[in-house]
Amino acid sequence: MIRFLVAVLILGSPLFPQSRSSEQARLTAAQIAFDAGHWDEAATLARGTADQSPELDFLAGLALARLEKWSEAKLAFEAGLGKAPKDPRFFVELAGTAYKQKDFRTAKERLRKALDLNPEDAYSREFLATIYFLEGNLEAALKYWNREEKPRLGSVAFRPSLQLGESLRNRALAFNAPQILTNDALLATQSRLDYLGVFSSTRIELHPAESGNYDLTLHLAERNGWGDSKVEGIVSLLSGLPYATIYPELYNLGRDAVNLTSLARWDSEKRRVSLALSLPLYGDPSLRLRLYADARNENWNLAQTFLGAGTPLTDLNMRRAAVGAEVDSIVNGRWSWSAGAELANRNFRNLSGHTSPAERAFFTGATSVAAWLGVKRTLVRVPERRFTLDSSAEARAGREFADALGPFATLRGSLRAHSFPRAKGDDFEMQAQIQAGATAGKATLDELFELGIERDNDLWLRGHAGTFDGQKGAAPLGRRFFLANWELDKNIYQNGFFTVKLGPFLDNGAVADSSGLFGSQRWLWDAGAQCKVRVSRNLTVVLSYGRDLRGGRNVFYGTVLR
């Protein structure tokens, strides 16, 4: 009290008018009070006129923050920031007041601005990493922690215990105690676990432990035999019954991540049987071999999509059988490559009136061999914004052994942006994708690109049905295509058993062929809405309504994504 009264008498005396020297005396007195722990006294001394120095504003804010008067402290720091916009201390303290008021978004913005002004500030990096950690954004937290050589692991554990062989399990981890958990190691581990194909969901958690270390726990839902459980295995097996399909699957055979997946469809218009066996090569979870066989017996109606001058092809039958092998490899958590080869045979029935050389090439039965090389790479990854931009490219070359055909080559690429605008959770999930491709040389009907919504097609234009009365061929076909898709998913209901999402989509694309016999003839625009119902960890029911904005047609569609 004596110090406070002396300071007031000195500063208020007419012999000492408010000047730079008296302001310095007030700052000194306020600092002495603050250092002594007299927060009220320090706050009173440091609060003055609007044009006082930013140092007094800063000290006033600190004292008010110690008194937990967060709103008043915020006003003091903002006043000082207006006078000293390049002083990072104000951004750091404003982040602190926002954090105390549970406004994590503002706190993160303030800390990022502080780091822009002072990139080497260890306190700001630690503070920012802690906020991301509390929000469950481990990747963003590691981005800032790793600069300080944190977090160091005290232990690594799996919950629940796994049936997967110990060697595979350990080799899938790119980190271990007492190492520092880095972002690269986290991404590589997540990619390897996905490649094993035996986990329907993965979640990695950190918990503070003794001596400043962290205990890491991997929560993995492991599929063994039919799946996670008998109930889930039956649901997976019968999920395609509405469209005459079953999916027999067996996982983690011999505890070696050997997976057997298959499909059997008895739809009279598009029968199909496929079988695939995948396994890690040389016990390496980042290197996987897939062997497959596929047989189809399909009826096609090309009345709306084939522009030839002969008799409309309304009952074309195509039979195709193929066997192949593919190797996939993870280089690191940001990119991977694949290579494969396939031997296929197809033949066509119910052809009439199509004898010109240009037309004959598309419907010529032949045996073919093809090989391909593909690469996937993450171009942009912004964990703070929960945004990724991924790319892929594939080059394919082969030969059709028939007089009307010959060698061919295909190049295809894509860009995919994925964003969660909120700090946590998956609400308002946004996805956008651009794809393009072209084939050089002659190609048979089954090698053409198709823009439409259909179960055996991955180029969805959701206002264009891929089938007509169950027969394929209703969607535009060709050897060159461009496709752009955008969609937004909003959570409207969720509980412990399923999640329901609803949102709009917009598709745009075109397909062409140099022969003039196929193609969309113009740019196509589709818009609509879709509902996604996730009924288990690896099954999502999709119901969509799309409208062709040019042709005025409507398409209602339902399927199960696996």
pLDDT for 15 equals 41
- CB within 8 A of 458, min separation 6: which ones? none
Choose among 326, 332, 316: nearest CA to 374.
326
If you count DSSP H runs as helices and E runs as strands, how many of each does the chain have, helices first? 13, 23
Q: Secondary structure of 434-453 in the HEC alphabet?
A: EEEEEEEECCCHHHCEECCE
Helix, strand or coil for residue 6?
A: helix
Q: What is the DSSP string of 251-317?
A: EEETTTTEEEEEEEE--TTEEEEEEEEEEEGGG-TTEEEEEEEEEEEEEE--TTT---SSS--SSEE
- Give the whole-angstrom CA distance, residue 292 versus residue 261: 9
Other Cβ atoms within 10 Å of 252 Cβ, number: 22
- Give the whole-angstrom CA distance, residue 186 versus residue 139: 8
CB contact burial 1-29 (16+ within 10 A = b; e otherwise): eeebeebeeebeeeeeeeeeeebebbbeb
Q: CA-CA-CA-CA torsion for 43, 44, 49, 55, nearest 10 degrees?
A: -30
Cα dihedral sign for 472, 473, 477, 481? negative
Residue tagged 């600092």 (tokens):
31
Average pLDDT, 10 consecutive residues per value, the chain (562 residues):
48 48 86 91 89 92 94 94 94 95 95 95 95 94 94 93 93 94 96 93 90 92 85 87 94 96 96 98 96 97 86 89 98 96 95 75 93 98 96 97 92 98 93 98 94 95 95 96 98 88 97 94 96 87 95 93 85
Residue type, 552: G
**CATH number of this structure's domain 2-148:** 1.25.40.10
Helix, strand or coil for residue 49?
A: coil
Give whole-number Cα distances, 141 to 122, 180, 422, in Å: 14, 13, 16
Is the distance from CB of 376 to CB of 368 less than 8 angstroms? Answer: no
Terminal Cα-to-Cα distance of the chain (whole angstroms): 73
Give whole-number Cα distances, 280 to 274, 288, 304, 326, in Å: 21, 4, 45, 12
Other Cβ atoms within 10 Å of 231 Cβ, number: 11
What fold, for 153-222? Ubiquitin-like (UB roll) (3.10.20)
Domain boundaries, the chain: 2-148, 153-222, 333-561
Which pair of tokens denotes residue 552? 């005025």
Q: Is 112 exposed, middle or buried (0-12, 13-18, 19+ CB in 10 A)?
A: middle
- Give the whole-angstrom CA distance, residue 160 versus residue 146: 28
- Give the whole-angstrom CA distance, residue 547 versus residue 543: 14
H or E stretch including 242? none
- Give the whole-angstrom CA distance, residue 91 versus residue 372: 53
Choose among 137, 92, 146, 131: nearest CA to 115.
92
**CATH number of this structure's domain 333-561:** 2.40.160.50
- Give the whole-angstrom CA distance, residue 349 versus residue 18: 101
Residue tagged 């929560």 (tokens):
219
Choose among 541, 538, 535: nearest CA to 226.
538
Q: What angle do CA 325, 328, 333 make, to 5 degrees?
A: 170
Is the distance from CB of 559 to CB of 542 less than 8 angstroms? Answer: yes
